[in-house]
Amino acid sequence: MWTVDHANIITAEQKSAERQEATKKAFENAIQKHIDATAIQRLFRDGVTLASYVASTNPQWAAEAQAFVAWRDAVWAYAYAELEKVLTGQRPQPTVEAFLSEIDPIVWP
């Protein structure tokens, strides 16, 4: 006779939580790619590399890094605020592409 192992049952709530986590990861990955692509526009390897120039002795690189870090912080603050709105039903979930189009472009020095 077959018996049910209740430890292996996946509930609707668990499936929903897994879908939400997968969606969150997809958005985070797309946003990070956007941030890195912005750094690459200035010929830096990625966002982490550009941010590391914030205290550079080269004034141009330091200014670009400072502008980038402020912009990057604003992007993530906006992204997490909007995610909270989605999770609380205050706004519908946009597509990744639509969300990326909401992000203000960086203003380089």
The pTM score is 0.84
**Is 90 exceeded by the pLDDT of residue 7?**
no
Helix/strand/coil (H, E, C) string of 45-65? Answer: CCHHHHHHHHHCCCHHHHHHH
**Whether residue 1 has pLDDT greater than 70:** no
Higher pLDDT, 22 or 105: 105
Alpha-carbon torsion angle 72, 77, 22, 36, nearest 10: 0
pLDDT in tens, 26-80: 999 999 999 999 999 999 999 999 999 999 999 999 999 999 999 999 999 999 9
Q: What is the CA radius of gyration of the chain?
A: 20
Cα 78 from Cα 81, distance rounded (Å): 5
**42 near 50, Cβ under 8 Å?**
yes
Residues in the chain: 109
User: Is pLDDT larger for residue 6 or for residue 105?
Assistant: 105
* pLDDT for res 55: 96
